[in-house]
A and B are shown apart, each in its own frame.
Chain A
């Protein structure tokens, strides 16, 4: 492969790629990110290859394997271009039929279409599906247009155009000015203004500087960064290169968590391609800009998402945070000025350069510009990754894009910001999602996790879940985080087991204050948030557990009993069969009974009963 030596050559190469491509040419795009692979997408891709070959269509029809396109609930997805038909939950067995019917005869296969759970209507076009309709996929949307392992695909959609623009037309200060004016704020959790960070790093004394991409995404239920790296790694790399130019860095690190093998694979391929084309290394495009990248893989510790712990880990030390009285932009990796941004932040950069500040600042709210990708999970019909403009309300995200709560449930709360965030009650669902609003209501933007909870969710149990996660994921270095979180867990755990005492809520508040004020790093200082926000909005639930020894949501096993409603029970005997502890007795035609001493409250009988006869009290 020939190295591309100057910007003109790159544009020539891009023109050649585009010339070869006909946008009207039919294409079968199959999603094959981690979620789709779990549904067997690799076999599906193979099945399409076989079918196209069998019908001698391999040269006429493109088959594109893309990263995830967000709608993980319905994976694997197949999108037929140019009509933009979306087939969902496609099985390898369907491939042949799609080729013979839809591709050859232009016939729609009804059973593979998405059915709107609200209206029962079948939807043909991908963009008409409510899940996609409400989104503004300026960053994540490109996932559907490219094969992430093919740099030509990225170039075809304007990839590395922003880099060329920066290298040929801008000064480093000019780039920093653009990013500052764009209002871009860090997408990893803190929401710090990106341009200001770059400027501080550029101005820090010293010759050597590093740029780092934080891809150690660890919040439970959050996988935006995985989606981006798997589906469009070049976008992130281009952002890093632009950042490196602005900051004056010639070396970068991508810190990817170990649990993301596919993301790692795609990054490695992307880096290899960049080196082959001469877009990474010395004197890139003959502009005098030199930059190279290394991938460093995390060992699986949540705390390594914290910037100083991450840098310690890259250096080969244990991933433990240090005090940040001297910021990493002055003294970071190997004590050199280091600029660290999250995957999604880097991915925003090429877009801002490409489309301009005015365009970018037109999206979002006053202090939160652009879009944000959320991973919408939990008790919601359409789970997946959604990209919305800042300022959209939680209600719009959950009801319109997410399709509401399954099984006619009612929304109780939305948890945002991962273990550092908080639970926002249904009564505040009309607040708009931006950095400041979420903080105001006691939660935070975090990296973009959004867990929807219905009325069958116990908020004390949720607090217990996050504390349990954090007590194990704290690095254990400082007393307040290590012992403080563990003690909070013990108190909350006792409450869920019916051992709560008067004064426990106050003790939790007291501990929360000290942990948040006195911990060494942000993992500790934000750890009490899930407890504080649930106490703030659901104090009555804590009180019910402590005083009445009752779990209103019917979740905490020690506080609930199962019984059978005599009027509803038809004595079919199904519950008796599934009960693993032989706690259910009953004869034919006689309503059954549950022995609460034997009952282990597993819920198997509830799942089995068709007559809604099992009650939890």
Chain B
């Protein structure tokens, strides 16, 4: 185990873990929008900034992608951290001025106004959707497009992504709730990517429960599960 301190308290982490995860596990409140424990750290939103002293050097750095190291000392609420965090929240608030998730988070840290022009965007480009699709689902139906201020997330060529299985993982992880899913008896639509897929009917109860594509894909990638497992809805399994 690797021992280090957070705000003076001794904590322990395992090799390969990052500082943010250990901090969260130990009940320290560090805001974060682009981090998810199931995904590789990305370091995009910059909200999880902390001050880390490693030897003689102290610096402001993101905790999500900082590997735990023996003897480091982490400070989560210094004046520098607060100052930087406030500006980052102000930038995010200006970008996503209508997002209740962002408004609430900013408010929690004392940021209620922004000095910049409002963008009324709904996406903070945290990349969770892109990473969950690639790292967990493994289909890479969406990715980042463009760069700089023109950056966005979308399917290749911004047309109906043929590899999307409509699983909704991206919908689930989105922190600003900007990826919407609509479902009917007949089909499911991931609105943001323009993908609509027909639903499968449970062979036991006759209810629809998930897109065909998703279940076929799951059948392919899972092993040791009875063949008809995916033909039944979760209630009838």
Contact A473 B87 (CB under 8 A): no
Give the distance in Å from the alpha carbon of A511 to the alpha carbon of B66 in the complex.
Answer: 24
Contact A517 B80 (CB under 8 A): yes
Q: With contacts A326-B67, A514-B88, A518-B49 known, is A490 near B116, CB below 8 A? A: yes
Q: With contacts A479-B91, A483-B91, A483-B95 known, is A474 near B65, CB below 8 A? A: no
A322 close to chain B: CB less than 8 A: yes
CB neighbors of A among B68-103 (8 A) = 80, 83-84, 87-88, 91-92, 94-95
A476 close to chain B: CB less than 8 A: yes
Give the distance in Å from the alpha carbon of A517 to the alpha carbon of B115 in the complex.
Answer: 20
Q: With contacts A490-B117, A507-B115, A514-B88 known, is A477 near B44, CB below 8 A? A: yes
Contact string against B for A residues 503-522, beta-carbon threshold 8 Å, 1 for contact and 0 otherwise: 00001001101100111100
Q: Choose from A472, A476, A484, A517 the contact partner of B91 (Cβ within 8 Å).
A: A484
Tier of interface size on chain B: 35 or more
Contact B92 A476 (CB under 8 A): no
Give the distance in Å from the alpha carbon of A475 to the alpha carbon of B47 in the complex.
Answer: 18
Task: Name the residue among A471, A487, A510, A511 with the largest chain B CB count within 10 angstroms.
Answer: A487
Residues of A within 8 A of B147 (CB): 301, 303, 472-476
Contact A473 B148 (CB under 8 A): yes
Contact A474 B46 (CB under 8 A): no
Give the distance in Å from the alpha carbon of A490 to the alpha carbon of B118 in the complex.
Answer: 12
Task: Name the residue among A301, A318, A325, A513 with the largest chain B CB count within 10 angstroms.
Answer: A325
Residues of B within 8 A of A318 (CB): 143-144
Residues of A within 8 A of B117 (CB): 490
| Cβ-closest chain A residue relative to B40 | A322
Distance from B53 Cβ to chain A, minimum over Cβ atoms (Å)? 14
Q: With contacts A301-B147, A479-B92, A483-B92 known, is A514 near B116, CB below 8 A? A: no
Contact B148 A476 (CB under 8 A): yes
A336 close to chain B: CB less than 8 A: no
Contact A475 B148 (CB under 8 A): yes
A363 close to chain B: CB less than 8 A: no
Residues of A within 8 A of B138 (CB): none
Contact B148 A517 (CB under 8 A): no
Distance from B58 Cβ to chain A, minimum over Cβ atoms (Å)? 12
A170 close to chain B: CB less than 8 A: no
CB neighbors of B among A459-484 (8 A) = 471-480, 482-484
Contact A480 B148 (CB under 8 A): no
A54 close to chain B: CB less than 8 A: no
Give the distance in Å from the alpha carbon of A477 to the alpha carbon of B144 in the complex.
Answer: 9
Contact B60 A487 (CB under 8 A): no
Residues of B within 8 A of A475 (CB): 147-148, 151
Contact string against A for B residues 23-61, beta-carbon threshold 8 Å, 1 for contact and 0 otherwise: 000000000000000000011111101000000000011
B150 close to chain A: CB less than 8 A: yes
Q: Choose from A303, A325, A471, A473 the contact partner of B65 (Cβ within 8 Å).
A: A325
A323 close to chain B: CB less than 8 A: yes
Distance from A547 Cβ to chain B, minimum over Cβ atoms (Å)? 19
Q: Choose from A476, A510, A520 the contact partner of B149 (Cβ within 8 Å).
A: A476
B62 close to chain A: CB less than 8 A: yes
| Cβ-closest chain B residue relative to A321 | B43
Distance from B48 Cβ to chain A, minimum over Cβ atoms (Å)? 11
Contact B148 A323 (CB under 8 A): no
Q: Choose from A301, A325, A486 the contact partner of B67 (Cβ within 8 Å).
A: A325
Contact A474 B148 (CB under 8 A): yes
Distance from B43 Cβ to chain A, minimum over Cβ atoms (Å)? 5
Q: With contacts A325-B67, A490-B117 known, is A518 near B149, CB below 8 A? A: no
Contact B60 A476 (CB under 8 A): no
Task: Name the residue among B84, B87, B115, B150 with the largest chain A CB count within 10 angstroms.
Answer: B87
Contact string against A for B residues 123-158, beta-carbon threshold 8 Å, 1 for contact and 0 otherwise: 011010000000000000001101111110000000
Distance from A238 Cβ to chain B, minimum over Cβ atoms (Å)? 35
| Cβ-closest chain B residue relative to A473 | B148
Give the distance in Å from the alpha carbon of A474 to the alpha carbon of B125 in the complex.
Answer: 14
Residues of B within 8 A of A325 (CB): 61, 65-67
Residues of A within 8 A of B91 (CB): 479-480, 483-484, 487
Distance from A115 Cβ to chain B, minimum over Cβ atoms (Å)? 45
| Cβ-closest chain A residue relative to B47 | A479
Contact B124 A479 (CB under 8 A): yes
Task: Name the residue among B44, B80, B148 with the largest chain A CB count within 10 angstroms.
Answer: B148
Contact B46 A480 (CB under 8 A): yes
Q: With contacts A479-B88, A514-B87, A514-B88 known, is A474 near B149, CB below 8 A? A: yes
| Cβ-closest chain A residue relative to B88 | A479
Distance from A174 Cβ to chain B, minimum over Cβ atoms (Å)? 30
Q: With contacts A323-B65, A325-B65 known, is A478 near B116, CB below 8 A? A: no
Distance from A216 Cβ to chain B, minimum over Cβ atoms (Å)? 15
Give the distance in Å from the alpha carbon of A326 to the alpha carbon of B15 in the complex.
Answer: 14
Residues of B within 8 A of A514 (CB): 83-84, 87-88
Contact B144 A480 (CB under 8 A): no
Residues of B within 8 A of A476 (CB): 125, 144, 146-151
Q: Choose from B62, B116, B127, B144 the contact partner of A487 (Cβ within 8 Å).
A: B116
Residues of B within 8 A of A303 (CB): 147
Residues of B within 8 A of A519 (CB): 46
Residues of A within 8 A of B44 (CB): 477-479, 520
Distance from B200 Cβ to chain A, minimum over Cβ atoms (Å)? 35
Residues of B within 8 A of A472 (CB): 147-150
Q: Choose from B94, B127, B144 the contact partner of A483 (Cβ within 8 Å).
A: B94
Residues of B within 8 A of A518 (CB): 46, 49, 60, 62, 84, 88
Distance from B88 Cβ to chain A, minimum over Cβ atoms (Å)? 6
Residues of B within 8 A of A482 (CB): 125, 148-149, 151
Give the distance in Å from the alpha carbon of A22 to the alpha carbon of B150 in the complex.
Answer: 59
Distance from A257 Cβ to chain B, minimum over Cβ atoms (Å)? 15
Residues of A within 8 A of B61 (CB): 323, 325
Give the distance in Å from the alpha carbon of A520 to the alpha carbon of B80 in the complex.
Answer: 17
Give the distance in Å from the alpha carbon of A483 to the alpha carbon of B94 in the complex.
Answer: 9
Contact B43 A517 (CB under 8 A): no
CB neighbors of B among A86-142 (8 A) = none
Distance from A297 Cβ to chain B, minimum over Cβ atoms (Å)? 18
Distance from A504 Cβ to chain B, minimum over Cβ atoms (Å)? 10
Distance from A487 Cβ to chain B, minimum over Cβ atoms (Å)? 5
| Cβ-closest chain A residue relative to B151 | A476
Apart from the given pairs A477-B151, A478-B44, 13 other A-B contacts in the complex at a CB distance below 8 Å: A318-B143, A323-B66, A325-B61, A476-B149, A476-B151, A477-B44, A479-B47, A482-B149, A483-B149, A484-B91, A511-B87, A513-B84, A514-B83
9 contacts between A and B (CB under 8 A): A323-B62, A472-B150, A476-B125, A477-B43, A479-B124, A490-B116, A510-B87, A520-B43, A520-B62
Top 4 A-B pairs, shortest CB-CB distance? A476-B151, A514-B87, A483-B91, A323-B65
